[in-house]
């Protein structure tokens, strides 16, 4: 069975240590029991018992210390990480979270040249320590350029002043990897702070949960060279590269949550007898379970495939930078869909206080929003669109990467820029292999139409500034990548194509042109397809390179290592910054000078009215098109086709939309 079975954790690829670790973790939760797990969840008590268990079994020490930094049995092994994250999600997101923010906190440490701190971290892990990642601030959200954690020179070192917000484990971490900037040079910096220090003021837990998601303030906190983890460009890269590692785990938390919720829901529905038959005898309930199951299997297949790219990554092969945000964004939003479907099937049961489902329904919503929202991650992946569709690279076939080994590259990822240059293997070859499946054929035709649209009719200037438009296109792109990458085996393809092919049907035929008889080999790259790069790469009015996302608003000052924030004046000056790759446009210019030009354009009518008209039409179609899978339009469409003679199947999707409980809405707007 592809889904997690806590009673059967033996896997041929795992070494003894991994299997034993997973079995011990499951045994801890099973011994605690569902009643106490749920009781603790609602009592919102700190999970000291879990941390004690983790210390005793050296859980974090073994899983979160790269080879060579600690004990001989320690390694950072993504294959192991996937299984562990899935188990923690299965038993409760709170347990996953305390481990996850430790992963994030350790990122800048393991990437640091500061050997003494690495040593300190390894010792703390052996001692059962947890860690924290101090990036976010209350007023700035995703805009981490604007950090107000400031280090002012003081003798041989500095005094740090500023507040951090939403910092998990900030109450009890052995080390908080804290992001800020130097007051004098404006360079970014990552430094280690200690919650036990008297100048570290813990203010509050900003959430009502078992997790401690802290607000804290550093007041004249002394920082010496010994606490510095990274400076300048390296500090920025460490932030982004850490999130690259961490955000992958969010998909696995979703998979674990959905798996547990599926088991609980189907057990309930099958045992509930209405009108003399189990609820699972009703065809619409069966459909919802099948739909939920297929989506969940697809989530897992995609996340597994993404782990291969993470483990095989190198300076030459950076394809993981597309698959990571896809796991973060697409797998987690599919997780929401799964829970919605299950909830519709079990109805009132999902509210009860003694079900796992009650917490799953709440916690599943968190994952698309943390570590960069869905929007932020789509804004990131659209940078790959041009090469993905029009400039594939040659790569040898990549097999499953499940062997026990340390993933060295993850802590040596190098610069976070150059996303637009990354090439991908040709998705069309994969779709062609499966074209005998009718739904795949339909899907391939739709992909080809989208590709033709990109190649022949790039958007006008107004549309280029429209982030909503960008997100709509990005959602369609995400669907292509998702379908391409989880289709590794014919079996998986056959079992899951129904879901996405049906989902994508709503945007079929909305693009220009007629359907091609051989859909996978139509639109050739033309000079006009460069528009895709411009469309999705360079002209967004907001920076899409936050939290992992390519070039920043940096200015290079006196040397290559002196990377710092750009001043407002530099933002408006095209001359002070290096050139960006694709459009020959100075990097960062889009933020200042481009924005001014944009304001100027807004005063004038659109300069390409005929294209604008057609593209607006495409935009409208696209907006409708990309939504179904995310917004419940799919269910509505299906609902219209489903007859309900008994009147039993009052369709819940409409209710969800009416009361807004679906959580996400198309393109960020309430319908």
Ligand X SMILES: Cc1cc2nc3c(=O)[nH]c(=O)nc-3n(C[C@H](O)[C@H](O)[C@H](O)COP(=O)(O)OP(=O)(O)OC[C@H]3O[C@@H](n4cnc5c(N)ncnc54)[C@H](O)[C@@H]3O)c2cc1C
Q: Which residue ranges make up the site for ligand X (CB under 6 A)?
A: 101, 133, 135-136, 141-142, 166-168, 207, 213, 369-373, 375-376, 379, 467, 542-544, 546
Tell me which residue of 596, 598, 560 sits closest to 578, measured CA to CA.
560
Is the separation of the CB atoms in 597 and 619 below 8 Å? no
Least distance (Å) between residue 391 CB and ligand X: 24
**C-beta closer to ligand X: residue 339 or 382:** 382
Residue closest to 397 by CA, chosen among 314, 271, 312, 495: 312
Q: Distance between CA 200 and CA 197 in Å, rounded?
A: 5
Cβ pair 231, 565 in contact under 8 A = no
| Separation of alpha carbons 85 and 576, rounded Å | 44
Alpha-carbon gap, residue 75 to 599, rounded angstroms: 52
In the bound complex, what is the minimum distance in angstroms from residue 316's beta carbon to ligand X? 28
Return the number of the residue (133 or 536) whose C-beta is nearest ligand X.
Answer: 133
- Note whether 144 and 150 are within 8 A (CB): no
- Structural contact between residues 386 and 537, judged by C-beta atoms closer than 8 angstroms: yes
Nearer to ligand X, 371 or 457 (CB): 371
CB of 333 to ligand X, least distance (A): 13
Q: How far is the CB of 105 from ligand X (least distance, A)?
A: 8
Which is nearer to ligand X, 170 or 632 (by Cβ)?
170
What gap in Å lies between CA 110 and CA 124, rounded to an integer? Answer: 13
Q: Measured between alpha carbons, how far is residue 190 from residues 5, 231, 666 in Å?
A: 40, 6, 37
Name the residue nearer to ligand X (CB basis): 139 or 646. 139
Q: How far is the CB of 168 from ligand X (least distance, A)?
A: 4
Shortest distance, position 146 Cβ to ligand X, whole Å: 11
Task: Output 78 or 147, the one with its CB closest to ligand X.
Answer: 147
By beta-carbon distance, which residue lies closest to ligand X? 141
134: which 2 tokens?
């101090």
Please say whether the beta carbons of 330 and 482 come within 8 A: yes
Decide if 185 contacts 216 (C-beta within 8 A). Answer: no
For residue 173, with 0-12 CB atoms within 10 Å meaning exposed, 13-18 middle and 19 or more buried, which class applies? buried
Q: How far is the CB of 132 from ligand X (least distance, A)?
A: 6
Nearer to ligand X, 3 or 467 (CB): 467
In the complex with ligand X, the residue whose CB is nearer, 86 or 371, is 371
Smallest distance from the beta carbon of 379 to ligand X, in angstroms? Answer: 4
How is residue 284 written in tokens? 């619409």
User: In terms of Cα–Cα distance, which of 544, 502, 566, 497 is closest to 187?
Assistant: 566
Element spanning 273, H or E: strand 273-274
CB of 157 vs ligand X, minimal distance in Å: 24
Q: Which is nearer to ligand X, 71 or 542 (CB)?
A: 542
């Amino acid at each position: 069975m592809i889904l997690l079975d806590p009673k059967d954790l033996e896997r041929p690829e795992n070494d003894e240590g991994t299997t034993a670790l997973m079995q011990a973790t499951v045994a801890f939760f099973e011994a605690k029991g569902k009643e106490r797990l749920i009781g603790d969840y609602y009592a919102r008590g700190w999970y000291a018992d879990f941390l004690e268990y983790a210390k005793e079994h050296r859980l974090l020490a073994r899983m979160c210390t790269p080879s060579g930094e600690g004990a001989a049995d320690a390694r950072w092994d993504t294959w192991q990480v996937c299984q562990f994250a899935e188990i923690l999600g299965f038993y409760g997101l709170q347990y996953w979270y305390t481990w996850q923010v430790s992963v994030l906190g350790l990122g800048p440490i393991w990437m640091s040249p500061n050997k003494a701190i690495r040593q300190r971290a390894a010792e703390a892990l052996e001692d059962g320590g947890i860690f924290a990642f101090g990036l976010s601030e209350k007023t700035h959200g995703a805009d981490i350029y604007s950090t107000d954690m400031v280090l002012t020179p003081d003798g041989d070192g500095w005094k740090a002043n500023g507040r951090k917000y939403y910092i998990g484990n900030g109450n009890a971490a052995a080390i908080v990897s804290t992001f800020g900037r130097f007051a004098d040079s404006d360079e970014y910096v990552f430094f280690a702070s200690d919650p036990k220090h008297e100048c570290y003021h813990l203010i509050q837990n900003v959430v009502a949960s078992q997790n401690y998601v802290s607000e804290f303030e550093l007041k004249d906190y002394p920082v010496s060279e010994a606490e510095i983890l990274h400076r300048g460009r390296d500090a920025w890269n460490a932030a982004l590269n850490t999130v690259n590692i961490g955000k992958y785990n969010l998909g696995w938390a979703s998979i674990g949550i959905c798996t547990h919720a599926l088991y609980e829901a189907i057990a309930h529905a099958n045992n509930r007898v209405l009108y003399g038959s189990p609820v699972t005898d009703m065809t619409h309930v069966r459909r919802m379970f099948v739909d939920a199951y297929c989506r969940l299997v697809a989530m897992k297949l995609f996340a597994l495939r993404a782990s291969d790219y993470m483990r095989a990554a190198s300076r030459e092969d950076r394809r993981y930078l597309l698959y990571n945000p896809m796991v973060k964004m697409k797998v987690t939003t599919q997780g929401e869909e799964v829970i919605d479907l299950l909830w519709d099937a079990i109805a009132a049961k999902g509210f009860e206080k003694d079900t796992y489902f009650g917490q799953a329904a709440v916690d599943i919503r968190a994952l698309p929003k943390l570590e960069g929202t869905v929007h932020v991650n789509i804004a990131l992946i659209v940078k790959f669109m041009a090469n993905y569709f029009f400039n594939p690279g040659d790569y040898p076939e990549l097999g499953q990467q499940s062997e026990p080994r340390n993933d060295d590259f993850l802590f040596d990822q190098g610069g976070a820029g150059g996303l637009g240059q990354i090439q991908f293997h040709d998705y069309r070859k994969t779709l062609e292999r499966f074209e005998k499946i009718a739904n795949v054929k339909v899907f391939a035709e739709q992909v080809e139409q989208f590709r033709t649209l990109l190649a022949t009719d790039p958007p006008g200037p107004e549309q280029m500034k429209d982030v909503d438009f960008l997100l709509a296109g990005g959602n369609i792109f995400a669907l292509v990548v998702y379908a391409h990458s989880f289709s590794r085996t014919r079996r998986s393809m056959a079992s899951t194509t129904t879901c996405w092919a049906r989902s994508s049907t709503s945007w079929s035929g909305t693009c220009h042109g007629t359907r091609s008889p051989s859909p996978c080999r139509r639109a050739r790259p033309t000079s006009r397809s460069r528009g895709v790069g411009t469309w999705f790469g360079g002209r967004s009015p907001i920076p899409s390179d936050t939290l992992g996302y390519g070039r920043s608003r940096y200015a290079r000052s006196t040397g290559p290592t002196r990377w710092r924030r750009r001043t407002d004046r530099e933002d408006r000056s095209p001359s002070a910054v290096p050139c960006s790759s694709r459009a020959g446009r100075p990097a960062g210019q889009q933020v200042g000078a481009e924005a001014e030009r944009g304001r100027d354009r807004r005063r004038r009518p659109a300069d390409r009215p005929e294209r604008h008209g057609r593209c607006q039409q495409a935009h409208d179609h696209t907006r409708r098109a990309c939504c179904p899978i995310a917004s419940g339009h799919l269910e509505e469409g299906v609902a219209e086709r489903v007859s309900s003679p008994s009147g039993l199947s009052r369709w819940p999707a409409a209710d969800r939309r009416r009361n807004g409980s679906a959580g996400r809405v198309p393109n960020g707007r309430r319908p």
